[in-house]
Amino acid sequence: MAALRKFTMFEMLARSLLIQGSWNYRTMQGAGVGFALIPVLKRLHRDDPDALARAVRRHVGFYNGHPYLSTVAIAALARMEGEEADAEEIDRFKRALVSPLGSLGDRLVWARWRPLTLLLAALLYLAGAAWWVAASAFLLLYNVVHLKLRVWGLRLGWREGRAVGRVLIGSPLRRLPDRLTIPLAAIAGGLLPLMALSVSQSNGLAPLPAVGSAVGLAAIGAWRPALAGRLAAFGILLFSLGFVILGQIAW
């Protein structure tokens, strides 16, 4: 099939940002997939409005993968439409992608990259940066990878089409969550004692108990790296509550 125009690819990419805009319990992200495919479907069926309507209806059925990797499915489905795959094959293919894309996205983004960038921003703030600098750093760093994933998925899905599942199995991206585990645990381990020290100094408390608690949480995170993100979140919540409660008492 002929390559898509860059503008059409950009339209699909931009529309993929709204994939959850019509989320519902029946089709989940299905309406978003259909919406993202409209630029390609219009090109394929420009002279046949009825065929266009049927094609859109084909793609608004059930789909519930990871939103950032939705472009893999969207682009692969666009290619299959261009190759005139039948509706039953398209539906089977779309459903088959739900589990691998959902699992990969959850492990990579929700369980690794998002906690890692949040902890880096918190570390930056505790190091003395203004709050808006830390917040801007988080948004920039997080979304660089977020958008890169969407672009990568769009190119991969269009290039591989119905073979994209096989390519995903051997993708280096599948090993990336494991590689991010150690940096996540290390940053969490460094951040918690700093937060504990900051809380204790702000309230005139002896730093040893607070820092000791944080070191304990960090040690558990090092022992069980899979828990690092949850322990970091728990520690941040714990010390934030302590700061508020003790600050109110002191005031």
State yes or no: pLDDT of 27 exceeds 90. yes
Same domain for 246 and 160 = no
**What is the residue range of 204's domain?**
177-250
More confident residue, 249 or 36: 36
Same domain for 221 and 130 = no
Report if residue 41 sits inside a domain.
yes
What local confidence, expressed as pLDDT, does residue 181 receive?
Answer: 83
Q: Bin 161: left if φ > 0, else alpha if -120 < ψ < 50, else beta.
A: left
More confident residue, 214 or 18: 18
What local confidence, expressed as pLDDT, does residue 124 receive?
Answer: 86
The two tokens of residue 113 are 């990259």
Domain boundary among 170, 195, 224: 170
Same domain for 158 and 230 = no
* Structure confidence at residue 248 as a pLDDT band (50, 70, 90): very low
Contacts for 107 with CB less than 8 Å, ≥ 6 apart: 177
Domain boundary among 132, 149, 170: 170
| Mean pLDDT, rounded, for 219-247 | 56
Same domain for 111 and 65 = yes
What local confidence, expressed as pLDDT, does residue 109 receive?
Answer: 95
In angstroms, the CA 76 to CA 72 distance is 6
Same domain for 76 and 48 = yes
State yes or no: pLDDT of 249 exceeds 60. no
State yes or no: pLDDT of 251 exceeds 70. no
* Structure confidence at residue 219 as a pLDDT band (50, 70, 90): low
What local confidence, expressed as pLDDT, does residue 119 receive?
Answer: 87
pTM: 0.79
Report if residue 236 sits inside a domain.
yes
Same domain for 208 and 166 = no
More confident residue, 238 or 114: 114
What local confidence, expressed as pLDDT, does residue 250 receive?
Answer: 43
Q: What is the mean pLDDT of the chain?
A: 83
Same domain for 236 and 152 = no
88-93: long-range contacts, CB 8 A cutoff, minimum separation 24: 89/162, 90/58, 90/59, 91/58, 91/61, 93/162
| Mean pLDDT, rounded, for 163-185 | 87
Tokens 């459903």 sit at which residue? Answer: 95
Q: CA separation (Å) from 246 to 196, 240, 243?
A: 13, 10, 5
| Mean pLDDT, rounded, for 164-184 | 87
Lowest mean pLDDT among 33-47, 70-84, 134-148, 214-228: 214-228
Report if residue 189 sits inside a domain.
yes
pLDDT above 90 covers a percentage of the chain that reads 54
State yes or no: pLDDT of 100 exceeds 80. yes
Domain boundary among 131, 148, 170: 170
Report if residue 1 sits inside a domain.
no
What local confidence, expressed as pLDDT, does residue 70 receive?
Answer: 96
Same domain for 164 and 67 = yes
What local confidence, expressed as pLDDT, does residue 191 receive?
Answer: 72
* Structure confidence at residue 225 as a pLDDT band (50, 70, 90): low
Instruction: Give residue 229's identity as a one-letter amino acid code.
Output: G
What local confidence, expressed as pLDDT, does residue 126 receive?
Answer: 79
| Mean pLDDT, rounded, for 172-201 | 75
Report if residue 68 sits inside a domain.
yes
Same domain for 162 and 87 = yes
Query: DSSP letter string over the chain?
Result: -PPPPHHHHHHHHHHHTTTTTT-BTTTBTHHHHHHHHHHHHHHHTTT-HHHHHHHHHHTSS-B---GGGHHHHHHHHHHHHHTT--HHHHHHHHHHHHHHHHHHHIIIIIIIIHHHHHHHHHHHHHTT--HHHHHHHHHHHHHHHHHHHHHHHHHHHHHHGGGHHHHHHT-GGGGHHHHHHHHHHHHHHHHHHHHHHHHHHHTT--HHHHHHHHHHHHHHHHHSGGGHHHHHHHHHHHHHHHHHHHHHHH-
Q: How many domains does the chain have?
A: 2
Report if residue 52 sits inside a domain.
yes
